[in-house]
């Protein structure tokens, strides 16, 4: 089964057809800068442009930077507030004339890692933490996703965690890798205290430099970097739409 995966981000919207049995991209991914302002109309038209570029007529999965419930956008931490309450899956589907499923973007990346990447075959409680502009999380128990966790928003030292330790904070405050690693260690220990995970997978921009800060992490035996990197959101978005494809008998 082939499904178009689209990853909607704050700076770029990228997509490619995915073979969901192997997790491989079937074509070179297309990336278009996120329009500004990133209103629903502008973003939906950009998604439609990507679908048209692949002449796509089958199911589409979209990773979106918000909590999603029944295709509807529920939060707006890092997006325009006009998205809140919008059934974006339906709106995009109407624009592209294809069935569309919407999923939280880090849940999408987590699905990809759990299926094809660092979380493959891992049982128990697994947390995927994407440390980038903010911190997004995906929580799994015995391979089953618990959707829409927002664990980047827990309090840490009296602050929202992603305002204390994200990759953007590292750059803005010019933290050394040691300083960053120690802050991240505080955050990961808090997750460990709250959820007792069997494994923690680090994704996002910071994961590409894992070797530079891993020595400052106490939970090294539980922590490993993500494997799919920039393609995780696309692959996971496609995976999230698998049931739509099956229900409509797409092959």
Q: Using the 8-state DSSP alphabet, how is residue 199 labeled? A: E
Q: Is 187 helix (H, G, I), strand (E, B) or coil?
A: helix
Question: Which pLDDT belongs to residue 1?
Answer: 81
Minimal CA–CA distance to 71: which of 88, 83, 58, 59? Answer: 88
Give the integer Cα–Cα distance in Å for 206 and 185. Answer: 13
SS (H, E, C) 2-37: EEEEEEECCCEEEEEEEECCCCEECCCCEEEECCCC
User: pTM for the full model?
Assistant: 0.92
Question: Which pLDDT belongs to residue 50?
Answer: 98
Architecture category of domain 121-226 in CATH: 2-Layer Sandwich (3.30)
Q: Where in the chain is the domain with CATH 3.30.420.40?
A: 2-107+231-247, 121-226
Phi-psi region of 21 (alpha: psi -120 to 50; beta: other; left: phi over 0): alpha
Across-strand partners of 138? Answer: 128
Element spanning 123, H or E: none
Q: At 232, list the tokens.
A: 């995780």
Mean pLDDT, the chain cut into blocks of 10 residues (251 residues total): 92 95 96 93 96 96 95 86 95 95 96 95 95 93 94 95 95 97 98 97 91 95 92 96 76 49
CATH number of 2-107+231-247: 3.30.420.40
Q: At 74, list the tokens.
A: 């529920």
């Amino acid at each position: 089964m082939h499904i178009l995966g689209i990853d909607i981000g704050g700076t770029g919207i990228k997509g490619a057809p995915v073979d969901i049995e192997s997790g491989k991209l079937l074509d070179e991914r297309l990336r278009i800068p996120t329009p500004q302002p990133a209103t629903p109309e502008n973003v939906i038209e950009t998604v439609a442009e990507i679908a048209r570029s692949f002449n796509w007529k089958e199911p589409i999965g979209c990773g979106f930077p918000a909590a999603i419930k029944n295709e509807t956008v529920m939060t707006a931490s890092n997006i325009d507030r006009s998205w809140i309450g919008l059934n974006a899956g339906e709106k995009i589907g109407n624009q592209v004339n294809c069935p569309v499923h919407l999923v939280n973007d880090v849940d999408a990346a987590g699905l990809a890692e759990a299926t094809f990447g660092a979380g493959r075959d891992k049982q128990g409680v697994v947390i995927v933490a994407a440390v980038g502009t903010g911190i997004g999380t995906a929580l799994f128990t015995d391979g089953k996703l618990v959707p829409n966790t927002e664990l980047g928003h827990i309090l840490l030292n009296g602050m929202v965690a992603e305002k204390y330790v994200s990759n953007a904070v590292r750059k803005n405050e010019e933290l050394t890798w040691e300083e960053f690693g120690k802050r991240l260690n505080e955050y990961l220990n808090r997750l460990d205290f709250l959820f007792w995970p069997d494994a923690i997978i680090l994704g996002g921009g910071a994961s590409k430099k894992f070797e530079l800060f891993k020595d400052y992490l106490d939970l090294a035996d539980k922590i490993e970097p993500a494997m799919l990197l920039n393609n995780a959101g696309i692959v996971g978005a496609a995976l999230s739409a698998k049931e739509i494809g099956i229900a409509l008998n797409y092959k």
